[in-house]
Every structure is written in structure tokens, then in C-alpha cells.
Amino acid sequence: MAEQEPTQQAGAQPGYEEARAELIEVVRALETGGTTLEESLALWERGEKLAAVCQQWLDGARRRLDAAIDAGDEG
């Protein structure tokens, strides 16, 4: 049974491009500073979640690519 990629649904994880764009904004906000410790911690936690989402998408893409290469080698 093939694993499904994360999908964009209500409450679901964002797509790769959306998560990456938001992660960039989080990093910019952290680098710029000017936030309270609580705000910085919240940004950091959000960044960690977004990085995990991006990694999930990349891992799924790698699995699909590897499967396609293996299928091509067999045929």
C-alpha cells in the first residue's frame, strides 16, 4: 500500500511551498529580533513544525523518485 503525501485540507499540514515560505518568514522574524522571549519561543516552535513538514514532503518525494527509478530499472 502506497503512503500518501500530506494533503491540503482543513486542519491538515500545508503544502511544501507554503510551509517553506512561512518558514522563511519565521527565520526572518527571529533574525530581525524585536520580539519578546515568549514571541521568539513561539516563532521557534512554529519554525520547527514547518521544518518537519518540509522534511516530510522531501522524504515523500525521495521515496517516489526512488520507486520510479527502481521501476525503470526493472522494465
Q: How many helices (H) and strands (E) does the chain have?
A: 2, 0
The model carries a pTM of 0.77
Report d(CA 61, CA 49) in Å as an integer. Answer: 19
pLDDT tens by residue, 19-75: 999 999 999 999 999 999 999 999 999 999 999 999 999 999 999 999 999 998 886
Please state the rounded mean pLDDT for residues 6-27: 84
The length of the chain, given as a count of residues = 75
Cα 11 off chain centre by:
15
pLDDT for the residue 10 = 52
pLDDT at residue 4 is higher than 60: no
11: confidence class by pLDDT, cuts 50, 70, 90: low
